[in-house]
Amino acid sequence: MTDYTDLEFAADQIRKDKISIQQFAKNIDSQGKREQILEQLHNRLSDRTFISERSLYCSLIKEFNCKESLPILWEMIGRDETKGRRGSLVYAMENMNPIDYLEKLVDLAIVDNYEVLCNAIGVIDGIEGFIDQMILSNCRNKIINALAKPMPEWRRAALELLLEEFQE
């Protein structure tokens, strides 16, 4: 019998398009192994041995939509080793409503690469709930200050759109 709840086996099957990420998550939930698999994902995400698997693990974390993953994702974003390869880490947050990390997301949009910028804007756009006026003001000011400096046109256009999100 095929065990699609085993992370290593399932990751191989996902890469070969024999099972979808959604089906894997469904199998894990039906077996009651979500916490166990999330712990494995968190461990592997931060383990350099599995660096080539990070995008896949981020996609799995996104599918599980577990806010407990946010500190791990942010810890990974803060590592120098992920510089230039943080897009999937931000992408994994998309459905987690990381409202407490709004300013950090704005910082990433301002300074990181195109993929991170696009993913950060997507995550920010999906944030719901009350946001303190001080945080909104800080976000606006960060973007306004960034826009006052020279930057590529693609970043300028994106930040101007982002600024509109924070207008009162």
pLDDT tens string 5-62: 688 888 888 999 999 999 999 989 999 999 999 999 999 998 888 888 899 999 999 9
Residues 85, 7 share a domain: yes
Determine the average pLDDT of the residues in 73-85: 91
Q: Helix or strand or coil: residue 97? A: coil
Q: Are residues 58 and 114 in the same domain?
A: no
Record the pTM.
0.89
* Same domain flag for 29 and 54: yes
Q: In terms of domains, do 12 and 73 share one? A: yes
Question: Domain count of the chain?
Answer: 2
pLDDT at 5: 64
Judge whether residue 1 has pLDDT over 50: no
One domain for residues 14 and 88: yes
Residues 76 and 108 in one domain: no
The answer to whether 102 and 124 have CB atoms below 8 angstroms apart is yes
Q: Pick from 62, 80, 96: which residue ends a domain?
A: 96
Q: Looking at the structure, do residues 102 and 81 belong to the same domain, yes or no?
A: no
Which pLDDT score, from 0 to 100, does residue 3 have? Answer: 60
Give 95-144 pLDDT, tens digit per residue. 999 999 999 999 999 999 999 999 999 999 999 999 999 999 999 999 99
The pLDDT value given to residue 83: 87
- Is the domain of 9 the same as that of 86? yes
Of 83, 89, 166, which Cα lies nearest the Cα of 127?
166
- Provide the domain limits for residue 85: 1-96
> Is there a single domain that holds both residue 83 and residue 115?
no
148 and 163 part of one domain: yes
The predicted pLDDT at position 114 comes to 96
